[in-house]
Amino acid sequence: MSQPSQAPAPLLQVSDLKRYFDVKNSLLSGKSGHLRAVDGVTFNVTAGETLGLVGESGCGKSTLGRVVSRLLPATDGEILFEGRDIIDIDRKALLALRADIQSVFQDPSASLNPRMTAFNLIAEPLVIQKIGTRASRRDKVLDLLETVGLRREFADRYPHEFSGGQRQRIGIARALALDPKLLILDEPVSALDVSIQAQIINLLEDLQKRLDLTYLFISHDLSVVQHVADRVAVMYMGQIVELADNEAFYANPQHPYSIALLSALPLPDPTIARKRILLEGDLPDPANLPQGCRFQSRCAHVTDRCRVGPEPEMQEISPGHIARCHNLADIHAPIEQKQTA
Amino acid sequence: MDTLMHAPKTAAKNANAPLLEVSNLSTEFATYAGTLSAVDGVSLSLQPGEVFGIVGESGSGKSVTALSIMGLIKKPGRVTGGTVRFKDEANLLDKTPAEMRKIRGGQISMIFQEPMTSLNPVFRIGWQIAEVLQIHREMTRTEAWERAIHLLDRVGIASPAKRAREFPHQLSGGMRQRVMIAMAMACAPSLLFADEPTTALDVTVQAQILDLMVQLKEEDGAAVMLITHDMGVIAEMAQKVAVMYAGVVMEEATVEELFDSPLHPYTQGLLDSIPRKKSRGQSLKAIPGIVPNLLHLPTGCRFRDRCAAAHSACALADPPLQTMPNSTRKVRCWLHHPEPPK
């Protein structure tokens, strides 16, 4: 974990990053606006750590992952990778960057070309980057298959011949082919059954240690993130609303949205009785956000200050623990109670 | 072996007979590669008002079990055996499709995972609810429409009279699932099948829907068969649980027994694979290997290839689902059988 005093420069520094999408509201009115999928996001990722990025569908977490890996251009803001700006770079520099930042996606059957063999899928990044000879690439691919726990004989099989867990292993091998420093893991285990999910989580943790990898782990699953992440960032409607060390976040969540998320999580223990905080209402329209705090329509602690602008700023609760809320002093998380049987 | 597979009649000594009693249900699917048993002799019984959870991974047969009970198996699938006793009906499997249609939506109803595919996109949601009432309660159009608005209100949809006139695409995922629940509860069924009812929903919306289901179940006294892969949802909702694997029930117990002391190595493996607070910094205890192909099940126990506790008996014969002494728990494993084969 990072030591704030004399820490090395973060591997990834994201400041005030924005990504807007244009939307047409209606054919008749002709009005158009912006959907602010990522709206002023700032965070660092230190080399070797896992930053968990959690949030519900539509909060912008996948868009953020895509902008950081330069699969989508940013609208505004700054991304530094190893201290270098990676937004304003030419094609050649971008190609070189691809070797350092790679992604693994949720659905391995959708992200692997069904007409390519496992061998060609894993070799493709090496071919594109013109790395090695045919023979050296062959050795590398076969080694990668073993690294992710597949047998070398599987190289000539097609994606449909693999199970879901094995396909995700191929997706990971492909992401590792260029010896990246940072992996963007976008819901890497969400499509898998729980027994297979555990295998892939173990593989990812093992690879991180062996290959000195840094992970941005995007997930909707708070239990998985609790297991894998060193620090946790919670996103809501395009913004990070809370960022903290794993222990601090799960033991002492501060933002009312984080508290509600954690209280809604069904725990695999029938003896725990909890007071669930039910969020009222649905998400606001992201193309037409309310004035003031974005969470006001669903927040149990809403005050007049939240309804009139400006939006709450990030506040520091303790070193490394920040949250975006006006009323932090008045909000306390409910405590889990073990039933006395 | 047959006698062991039937549910014990201890529950029947109580005044309340089971609401639903499934015995030896089997369903096969014909494929080009051969016939596979998706459900292979499943026996379950549900008390009135109970929440009975079926938990299992993809391909374990949990959804096919529910569809078989409801008479919704289509070709190339076929229910090949068993009986389904429901209330006074001796066997639902003997009913004609027309008779089953009278029961489904009335006394038995269901909610599925993806409300977008179960709602008709070209009809207003109010009419889709009203249709159920016109068919099963013989209400007039006007009566049924009024009642549909009342039901939408009951499942927590704001301005129900306005919402009733909307189409499914105008609603959020959580609201669509509320509409499905309103439709399922329209005729106050005594049995509700909920097949992964919250899997497609975000965790905060899932909490709302689970709460709503508990509230309506308690008001109407319906029994719920809750099918899910999520052990957390099972722990919060169910009273009894059956763990399915490759078409059979591996273990059946009360929810407290199951989470406190799982007997079957598969159940233990499932619970150990879940990331928890305690597991941080350690590897998860994953179950090695993958779910077997139902066309090529191993001989003997079907979990044997992945089981850490497998021994010689496991290859010799398929263990029966056996009731544990002095208990209502059942487990399908030679480790807990008094006379494993030698």
Report chain B residues whose CB lies below 8 A from the CB of A57: 202
Report the C-alpha gap between A43 and A9 in whole angstroms.
13
The answer to whether residues B71 and B196 belong to one domain is yes
Nearest CB neighbour to A278, from listed B202, B208, B231: B208
Which of residues B269, B291, B313 is at a domain's end? B291
The answer to whether residues B196 and B164 belong to one domain is no
CA angle B176, B182, B183 (to 5 degrees): 90
The answer to whether residues B35 and B124 belong to one domain is no
The answer to whether residues B152 and B263 belong to one domain is no
Tell me if A20 is assigned to some domain. Answer: yes
Tell me if A4 is assigned to some domain. Answer: no
Average pLDDT over residues B129-154: 94
| Residue given tokens 């946790």 in the structure block | A232
Cβ of B271 within 8 Å of Cβ of A165? The answer is no
Residue A224 contacts B where some CB pair is shorter than 8 Å = yes
Average pLDDT over residues A279-284: 73
What distances in angstroms separate CA A332 from CA A253, A256, A295, A319, B264, one per listed residue?
A: 8, 8, 17, 19, 40
Task: Name the minimum distance, in Å, from the CA of B120 to any CA of chain A.
Answer: 22
Report the C-alpha gap between A293 and A281 in whole angstroms.
15
| Torsions phi, psi for A127 (to 5 deg) | -65, -45
| Torsions phi, psi for A280 (to 5 deg) | -80, 155
How many C-beta atoms surround the C-beta of residue A83 within 10 A? 9
More confident residue, A2 or A332: A332
The answer to whether residues B99 and B149 belong to one domain is no
Tell me if B314 is assigned to some domain. Answer: no
pLDDT tens-digit map of A206-252? 999 999 999 999 999 999 999 999 999 999 999 999 999 999 999 99
* Residue A260 and residue B204 in contact, taking contact as beta carbons nearer than 8 Å: yes
Dihedral sign (CA B276, B278, B283, B288): negative
Amino acid at A102: Q
Tell me if B252 is assigned to some domain. Answer: yes
* Domain total in chain A: 1
Tell me if A3 is assigned to some domain. Answer: no
Q: Could you tell me which of B309, B312, B305, B268 has the C-alpha nearest to residue B286?
A: B268
Domain of residue A40 covers 12-25+32-338
Alpha carbons within 13 angstroms on the beta-carbon side of residue A243 total 19
CATH of the domain at A46: 3.40.50.300
Task: Name the minimum distance, in Å, from the CA of A92 to any CA of chain B.
Answer: 39
* Residue A238 and residue A58 in contact, taking contact as beta carbons nearer than 8 Å: no
Tell me if B263 is assigned to some domain. Answer: yes
What distances in angstroms separate CA A72 from CA A13, A38, A62, A78, A159, one per listed residue?
A: 17, 12, 11, 14, 26
Tell me if A248 is assigned to some domain. Answer: yes
| Residue given tokens 């001989």 in the structure block | B299
pLDDT tens-digit map of A97-147? 999 999 999 877 788 999 999 999 999 999 999 999 999 999 999 999 999
* Domain total in chain B: 2
Alpha carbons within 13 angstroms on the beta-carbon side of residue B246 total 19
Please say if the pLDDT value at position B182 is more than 50. yes
Chain B: residue whose CA lies nearest to A200: B286
Q: Could you tell me which of A269, A277, A313 has the C-alpha nearest to residue A292?
A: A313
* Residue A110 and residue A133 in contact, taking contact as beta carbons nearer than 8 Å: no
- CB environment B179-203: b (16+ within 10 A), e (fewer): bbbbbbbbbebbbbbbbbbbebbbb
Tell me if A152 is assigned to some domain. Answer: yes
Q: What percent of chain B has pLDDT over 90?
A: 73
* DSSP code string of B217-235: HHHHT-EEEEEES-HHHHH
Average pLDDT over residues A263-267: 90
What distances in angstroms separate CA A307 from CA A123, A256, A259, A302, B190, one per listed residue?
A: 53, 15, 20, 8, 45
User: How many CB pairs lie under 8 A apart between chains A and B?
Assistant: 120
The answer to whether residues B260 and B196 belong to one domain is yes
Cβ of B276 within 8 Å of Cβ of A266? The answer is no
Please say if the pLDDT value at position B11 is more than 60. no
Report the C-alpha gap between A322 and A245 in whole angstroms.
10
Strand partners, B35: B30
Q: Could you tell me which of A240, A252, A262, A263 has the C-alpha nearest to residue A315?
A: A240
Tell me if B317 is assigned to some domain. Answer: no
The answer to whether residues B261 and B242 belong to one domain is yes
Report chain B residues whose CB lies below 8 A from the CB of A264: 203-204, 206-207
| Torsions phi, psi for A89 (to 5 deg) | -130, 155
Dihedral sign (CA B10, B12, B13, B14): positive
CATH of the domain at B59: 3.40.50.300
Task: Name the minimum distance, in Å, from the CA of A288 to any CA of chain B.
Answer: 16
Q: What percent of chain A has pLDDT over 70?
A: 92
Tell me if A5 is assigned to some domain. Answer: no
The answer to whether residues B90 and B208 belong to one domain is yes
pLDDT computed for residue B342 by the predictor:
82
Nearest CB neighbour to A193, from listed B174, B204, B229: B229
- CB environment B138-175: b (16+ within 10 A), e (fewer): ebeeeebbbbbbebbbbbbbeebeebbeeebeebebbb
Tell me if A7 is assigned to some domain. Answer: no
Report the C-alpha gap between B79 and B40 in whole angstroms.
10
pLDDT computed for residue B4 by the predictor:
43
Q: What is the DSSP letter of A291?
A: S
Cβ of B232 within 8 Å of Cβ of A228? The answer is no
Question: Would you place residue A335 in the very low, low, confident or very high pLDDT band (cuts 50, 70, 90)?
Answer: low
Using CB atoms within 10 A of its CB, is residue A59 exposed (0-12), middle (13-18) or buried (19+)?
buried
pLDDT computed for residue A336 by the predictor:
54
Chain B: residue whose CA lies nearest to A227: B280
Report the C-alpha gap between B14 and B191 in whole angstroms.
20
The answer to whether residues B101 and B194 belong to one domain is yes
The answer to whether residues B182 and B260 belong to one domain is no
Q: What percent of chain A has pLDDT over 90?
A: 72
Domain of residue B85 covers 16-107+190-291
Please say if the pLDDT value at position A184 is more than 70. yes
How many C-beta atoms surround the C-beta of residue B30 within 10 A? 12
The answer to whether residues B82 and B199 belong to one domain is yes
Report the C-alpha gap between A203 and A36 in whole angstroms.
35
Please say if the pLDDT value at position A28 is more than 80. no
| Torsions phi, psi for A116 (to 5 deg) | -110, 145
pLDDT tens-digit map of B292-340? 889 989 899 999 999 999 999 999 999 999 999 989 999 999 999 998 9
pLDDT computed for residue A25 by the predictor:
61
More confident residue, B278 or A62: A62
Please say if the pLDDT value at position A167 is more than 60. yes
Report the C-alpha gap between B155 and B148 in whole angstroms.
11
* Residue B53 and residue B255 in contact, taking contact as beta carbons nearer than 8 Å: yes
Please say if the pLDDT value at position A253 is more than 90. yes
The answer to whether residues B26 and B163 belong to one domain is no
pLDDT computed for residue A139 by the predictor:
96
